[in-house]
Every structure is written in C-alpha cells, then in structure tokens.
C-alpha cells in the first residue's frame, strides 16, 4: 500500500513523515511541538479545552460521526472519574488508517488521549487493539516508554489486546470486552445514555479522532476550521483500495469531490462504482462521483463518510458478486444476539448468491427487497442496518447487472475473481502496509 495525498498542503496528521520511518518522540516534538497542557489542570482550563473542541466542530472519525465535544462534556459532568478508551480495533477489512497512525505517528494519538483525559478528569487511558496485532502492541509499549520524559503528569495508560472481529469496534462491544465480558454490542435503545466500565463512565473515541484532538489542542478551533466544510470541518483519513494503481491512505480535506480523491490513487479506466464508508456503507455509481466527500454531499447520494473507506470497482466486474461476498462476511461476523442478525443476514446473503450464481426470478428479487425491509432498524446494534444499506445500494447502482442475471443467468463479470478484501471468519491478521510514498498529485 502507499500513502498518497490529494494536495501536499492537506497534510496535517501525516505531516513530517518520510520514507517508511516511524516518528519517535523526538521527531514528533520537532514536527508538532509540545502539547500545551499545564502540570496541574484547573477546572477553568478543562472547560476551555471543551469549548475549543466544541468550536472546532470535530465529529468522530470512527464511522458514526458523533460530535466529539458532546461525549467529552457528558464524561466530565458525570460526577465520577471517567476511563478514556482509544478505539483502535479497526474491524473494517478494507481500512488501514488507524493501524497506520498507531504504527507511524503513535505520539499524535497518545497526545490526544492525554489531552482528553486531563480535560475530563480521567486518570486512566486504555488503548484497545486487536489481539492478533502483536507488533502494534509492542510499538505502543515502546511509545509509552518514550513518554516518561514528558513534563506534565500523565494519566495511567495501558494497552489492551482484545478479540479482533468486525463488530469488536462497536463502542458498547469494546467496553464489554475491556470489562472482561463477551465482545458483543449491548442493546441500547437510547444512545444518549453514556457507557460505563464498572462504576466509571467510559469515554470512547476512534484513533483518528484523538489524533485530530492533539492538533486542535495545539493550534485551536479556528485553525482546524481553515480546511473542510462548515458543517464537517477539517481533514479526514481515507483508505482507498480496489481498482487503483496506488492503494493506500490519503488525507483529504472534507468537501473535496469524491472523483478527485479516487483520481489521486490512479484508478484504472472505466471505474464502475465506489463503495463509500466501509462494508456497511453505500455503493456510489461512477456518474455520481462529483459529489463532495462530506456530510451533506454524500447524503445526496445516500452515503456517509463512515470509517473513511473507499473501494473502487472496475468496469466489467460484477457488483452483485462483490456485494454477495461482503454480505456473507457480514453475516458471519454477527454477534448472534438477535433475529435480524442471526437469521436475516444469512438470508440476505443466500438471496444474493441466488442472484449471482443461479437463474433468479422476479419473485426472488421481491423477496430480497422485502427481507431488507424486515431487517432494517430491528437489530440490537447497527450491524444489520449496515448490511441492508449495502445490499439496497447494490440493487440500485447495479440495476443493469440485476437485469442481466434475471434474463440470462450469471454475467461474464461474475466469473471473474472478486477483489474486495474479505478475511476468513477466523479473523486472520490483515497485511500491514509495507511501502509508502507521499504527495502524489491526481493524474
């Protein structure tokens, strides 16, 4: 994989990186300067930090896009000492941004975690990583050892290796796993009610969110808002793969046209569609790639930024085949707690398999759409909703494929190897990016 950027001036989180070298504490401080935190944070300073985060408009970069300041204020006002959790589980098979941040710029993430913990009165930080990524655990332990020389009193920080699977990064599943329980989502009809780790409030943010907070703590809200859209300011990391010559991590300004982002990775000719947001995301046709990569722009085509994943599908490939494989994977990654996941997701995958490999009839397509309606909105968490969103978008964007399969059976593209990365159900470790370049302009 490569590290590319739409414009050199966009670099914020990725600034100061050269070659394949990871930034140690000395390099990190030379690039960004020290984190401006007092030796003894006062309530006035804590409130000022929360005000600055609110003014920045930073939304969580883990997928849900929840306003960052609201979680922080709720934790500070809870009346108990919170525990800060860095969610680095990154269960999306096509995502690599969080792993990259913790491997190559861990101190930026750890700065953000320190800032949040000091601002909300937390004394403990837990960095949550997949158990199979032992090299990442060792890298974080090394970074924590380097930070003993920092001039302020740091919160206690530990690295916790947890079961790595698709829903392991859902925040209630994460809290449950840290508590030593099963790594499955909790039923939360009211998402505004905060999570708790034992008797303590649990404040969960995604890895990239902490990295942005480290820079907001240094440069302020107005600096952060100098890039991006008014309602979705800043930059965002994107992992792009599929039918591109330079797959990898991009740092993009929100509001940038989706087609510009895809162009930066050198796509093959005749792009057919792009899966936006991750495996619970939305297929966007090539005709709609002029939309801005931001909250409002993507909303016009039924998509969202999600976890910052873009998977590019080449012309001639079968979008139904790719969707069927992803849907089967999502069915296998279910927690098995509720009917929509336990029965609904395998049924959706079976229907798609019939569409791809059999001779589907109109009644089969009707049954598939009806099942999507029965599954959506009925799960204990958002996992089945994501699968339904994926399937519905595929039926719309790949309508020509649907018609071909119904008239003639399997299309030529369905006989080609599928390209979307789908790990085994035994959660094997994904490849680590091994080659990085920077500042590559679109063709």
pLDDT digits (tens, 9 = 90+) for 143-180: 999 999 898 889 999 999 998 888 888 888 899 999 99
Name residue 125's beta-bridge partners: 84, 157
Residue 415: band (very low, low, confident or very high) from pLDDT cuts 50, 70, 90:
confident
- At residue 308, the pLDDT reads 93
Is pTM beyond 0.85? Reply is yes
Closest CA relative to residue 136, chosen from 185, 202, 84, 90: 90
Tell me the C-alpha to C-alpha distance, in Å, between residue 287 and each of 255, 259, 278.
18, 10, 20
* Rounded-to-integer distance, Cα 121 and Cα 251, Å: 31
Q: Tokens 């505004």 appear where?
A: 192
Angle between helices 97-104 and 106-120 (to 10 degrees): 90
Q: What is the pLDDT of residues 217-255, one digit of tens each?
A: 999 999 999 999 988 899 999 999 999 999 999 999 999
Query: Is-contact 381 170, C-beta < 8 A?
Result: yes
CA 274 centroid distance within chain:
16
| Stretch 377-402: mean pLDDT | 92
* Rounded-to-integer distance, Cα 393 and Cα 169, Å: 24
Closest CA relative to residue 91, chosen from 436, 388, 386: 386
CATH for the stretch 319-415:
1.20.1440.230
- At residue 9, the pLDDT reads 56
- At residue 18, the pLDDT reads 54
Query: Euclidean distance between the first and final Cα of the chain, in Å?
Result: 18
Report the phi/psi class of residue 313: left, alpha or beta, with left for phi > 0 and alpha for psi in -120 to 50: beta
Q: What angle do CA 195, 199, 200 make, to 5 degrees?
A: 60
Write down how long the chain is: 443
Domain locations in the chain as residue ranges: 23-226, 229-314, 319-415
DSSP-based three-state secondary structure for 157? strand
* Rounded-to-integer distance, Cα 101 and Cα 18, Å: 14
* Rounded-to-integer distance, Cα 261 and Cα 237, Å: 11
Reported as half-sphere exposure (CB side, CA atoms, 13 A), residue 395 has a value of: 20
Beta-sheet pairing, 248-253 with 2-5: parallel
* Rounded-to-integer distance, Cα 237 and Cα 249, Å: 7
Query: Is-contact 275 311, C-beta < 8 A?
Result: yes
Helix (H) or strand (E) holding 99: helix 97-104
Average pLDDT along the chain: 88
| Topology (CATH level 3) of domain 229-314 | Ubiquitin-like (UB roll) (3.10.20)
Angle between helices 106-120 and 207-219 (to 10 degrees): 70
Closest CA relative to residue 142, chosen from 24, 292, 238, 281: 24
| Stretch 263-290: mean pLDDT | 95
* Rounded-to-integer distance, Cα 176 and Cα 78, Å: 19
**Residue 171 has which token pair?**
């925040």
Helix (H) or strand (E) holding 323: helix 319-332
Reported as half-sphere exposure (CB side, CA atoms, 13 A), residue 110 has a value of: 29
- At residue 369, the pLDDT reads 95
Name every residue whose Cβ is closer than 8 Å to that of residue 234 and which is 6 or more positions away in sequence: 12, 56, 57, 58, 212, 224, 225, 227, 228, 253, 254
- At residue 3, the pLDDT reads 42
Query: Is-contact 236 6, C-beta < 8 A?
Result: no
Phi, psi for 259 (deg, rounded to 5): -65, -30
Residue 436: band (very low, low, confident or very high) from pLDDT cuts 50, 70, 90:
very low
Percent of the chain, pLDDT > 70? Answer: 90
CATH level 2 (architecture), domain 23-226: 3-Layer(aba) Sandwich (3.40)
Greater pLDDT, 432 or 282: 282
Greater pLDDT, 20 or 177: 177
| Stretch 97-101: mean pLDDT | 93
Residue 15: band (very low, low, confident or very high) from pLDDT cuts 50, 70, 90:
confident
Residue 417: band (very low, low, confident or very high) from pLDDT cuts 50, 70, 90:
confident
* Rounded-to-integer distance, Cα 260 and Cα 33, Å: 32
* Rounded-to-integer distance, Cα 433 and Cα 249, Å: 9
- At residue 430, the pLDDT reads 30
- At residue 421, the pLDDT reads 83
- At residue 190, the pLDDT reads 60
Matching fold, domains 229-314 and 319-415: no
Kindly report which listed range (17-26, 113-122, 286-295) carries the lowest average pLDDT score.
17-26
Query: Is-contact 71 113, C-beta < 8 A?
Result: no
Greater pLDDT, 98 or 3: 98
Greater pLDDT, 288 or 182: 288
Q: Spell out a b/e string for 274-313, using b for 16 or more CB atoms within 10 Å of the CB, else e.
A: bbbbbbbbbbbbbebbebbbbbebbeebbbbbbbbbbbbb
- At residue 422, the pLDDT reads 82
């Amino acid at each position: 994989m490569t590290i590319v950027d739409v414009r050199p001036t966009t670099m914020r989180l990725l600034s100061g990186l050269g070659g394949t070298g990871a930034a140690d504490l000395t390099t990190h401080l030379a690039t960004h300067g020290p984190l401006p935190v007092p030796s003894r944070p006062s309530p006035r300073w804590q409130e000022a930090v929360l005000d600055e985060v609110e003014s920045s408009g930073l939304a969580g970069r883990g997928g849900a896009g929840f306003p960052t300041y609201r979680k922080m204020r709720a934790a500070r006002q809870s009346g108990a000492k919170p525990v800060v959790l860095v969610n680095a589980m990154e269960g999306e098979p096509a995502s690599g941004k969080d792993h990259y941040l913790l491997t190559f710029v861990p101190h930026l993430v750890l700065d953000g975690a320190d800032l949040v913990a000091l601002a909300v009165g937390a004394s403990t930080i837990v960095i949550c990583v997949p158990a199979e990524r032992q090299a990442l655990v060792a890298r974080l332990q090394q970074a924590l050892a380097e930070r003993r020389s920092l001039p302020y009193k740091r919160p206690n920080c530990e690295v916790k290796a947890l079961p790595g699977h698709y829903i392991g990064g859902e925040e209630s599943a994460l809290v449950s796993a840290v508590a030593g329980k099963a790594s499955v989502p909790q039923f939360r009809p009211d998402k505004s009610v905060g999570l708790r780790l034992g008797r303590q409030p649990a404040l969960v943010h995604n890895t990239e969110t902490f990295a942005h907070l480290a820079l907001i703590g240094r440069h302020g809200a107005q600096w952060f808002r100098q890039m991006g859209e008014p309602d979705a300011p800043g930059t965002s990391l994107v992992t792009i793969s599929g039918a591109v010559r330079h797959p990898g991590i991009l740092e993009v300004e929100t509001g940038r046209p989706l087609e510009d982002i895809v162009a930066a990775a050198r796509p093959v000719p005749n792009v057919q569609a792009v899966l936006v947001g991750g495996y619970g995301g939305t297929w966007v046709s090539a005709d709609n790639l002029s939309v801005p990569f931001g909250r409002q722009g993507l909303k016009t085509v039924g998509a969202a930024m999600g976890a910052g994943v873009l998977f590019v599908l080449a012309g001639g490939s079968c979008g139904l085949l790719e969707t069927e494989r992803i849907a089967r994977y999502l069915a296998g990654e279910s927690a098995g707690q509720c009917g929509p996941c336990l029965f609904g997701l395998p049924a959706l995958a079976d229907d798609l398999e019939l569409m791809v490999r059999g001779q589907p009839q109109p009644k089969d397509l009707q049954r598939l759409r009806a099942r999507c309606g029965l599954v959506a909105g009925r799960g204990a968490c958002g996992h089945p909703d994501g699968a339904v969103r994926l399937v519905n978008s595929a039926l719309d964007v790949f309508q020509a494929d649907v018609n071909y399969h119904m008239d003639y059976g399997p299309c030529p593209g369905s006989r080609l190897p599928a390209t979307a990365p789908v790990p085994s159900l035994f959660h094997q470790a994904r490849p680590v990016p091994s080659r990085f370049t920077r500042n590559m302009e679109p063709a």
